[in-house]
Structure 1
Amino acid sequence: MAGLASGGPVRREDGQELQRFEPRVIGFLCNWCSYAGADLAGTSRLAYPANLRIVRVMCSGRVDPEIMVDPFLRGADAVMVLGCHPGDCHYLSGNYQAEQRVRTLWMVFDHLGIDRARLYLDWVLAAEGARFADMVSCFVEQVRALGPAGGGSASREGLSRDEFVFRSEIARRVAASERFRWLVGRSKALCEQGNVYGERILPEKVATLLQGVIADECVRAAIEVLAAEAPVSVKDIAARLGVSAQIVLEQAAYLKRRGVIEPYDVLGHSPRYVLRGARV
């Protein structure tokens, strides 16, 4: 089903060859439409870049936000989520759920400084083999322009590999958090059906709520990641994240009450914390 890899070696002005960046792209394709479209592209011998590695799922709505982030931790440069066209989902609303999840995850990426263009969402019918091939070709070129994930100066974000993995792990933990998942799952209903009192919430208000939850959960996730590596103080975390110590202190106190982190020692006048159960 895979087509041919595009391009070849690039030559500098002095004639020496440069290794061309070949993006590693993971695609989550729904069984009924987009995967069938990919299969049609293959049987029709339509060439498209072999950079795409396909994961077939029964519905795009079954692709959890945490799963969308996981490939970035495993070395992928980009992720595609392809489903049925709106109104054609075999499970009625799966593609709408996928769209809500991707759009919210884009907000997380924006907050963390990860280019949202690395996460792509679109729709493909079973009969759209040619469209699928064109879509993959265009996306691979887009990712090639972004540069490798965590490629430092060679990538648009300018993040080192370690920093990219650090931020991706934060995004994964945010996507797994209870508040984030609840709000993502209920945001559409809050706008269209209202809350328990029947009050409809404006989309702008829901977006503001999401931004606040994302900001809080990103700090909490960062504390967990850093505290799992070594004893760390509020001051150290604030300096690492570039936020105020007061914000870190509030979230650290919350995690301490929940038993997620625990005191380790006091260095100078600063208590240091570790993730509960972590070996440091």
Structure 2
Amino acid sequence: MSHVFAAAAPPLSPPAGLPRRLLDVSAALWLALALGGQLLFAAYLVAAYLLPTLQGRLESWNLKLPKGYTPGDAWGNALVGLHLLFALLILVGGALQLLPPLRRARPALHRGIGRAYLIAAATLAVGGLLLVWTRPALGGLGQHLGISLNALLMLAFAGLAWRAARARRIEAHRAWALRLFLAVSGVWFFRLGLPLWLMWHGKPVGFDPKTFDGPFLTTLAFAQTLLPLAVFELLRAARRSARPAFHGAVALLLAALVLLTAAGLFGAFHMLWSPPL
């Protein structure tokens, strides 16, 4: 699993002992945990939205998604439904794309899924922009801007990954594809960050749970995209560095993020996902 991040930032110098190995192991652990957590989120989407939709119970969308289903609004309901469907497909597709055995054993399938992933990501981004500005539910302007930034970066990364692939710049393509994966995962990071905050404080702090607006949620709306990308660039810099101290520091950061991600998954499962599952 460490090969995924390694391919995006090949080292300029040989591995430097234990700190470098810890760096690769920490990155692999986080990625494995993230993929498992995203598949859990995908299972939640199936249980909470896909199955009720197939049963004709569209009103059940509103149990977890304010204004998810609005009687008489065929266009808006279709947009929400397609957005949820593409979110489900992209979660599963992203997990498949990041499996090294699939890339090695079935390169043609890997390329096919990759093309579909890029198209789905762009579609998801455009749909998200339409929803947040034409059918706003809860949340304030700050959150809408954070979501819009996420969508615009998804479009940019998808285009850059596509262009690099067509030019056969494989390392650049993988780097842009991983940035896209992290941006696409923004909604998942948000759903980990909120339970972490609530578990830490024991109650809503920094936002109004009725309006779902406040400085914390505005900050989280931007952090869901920018923080993972910043950590990824730090990891790439560490892999290119020959300094063991740098390797060790980033490895410790990633180890801490493994623990935070596990805690966030625990909170998200018990607070958000477990009832439908």
**TM bracket (short chain):** 0.3 to 0.5
More strand by share: 1
> Whose helix fraction is larger, Structure 1's or Structure 2's?
2
- In the superposition, the TM-score normalised over structure 2's length comes to 0.33
Q: Which has the larger radius of gyration?
A: 1
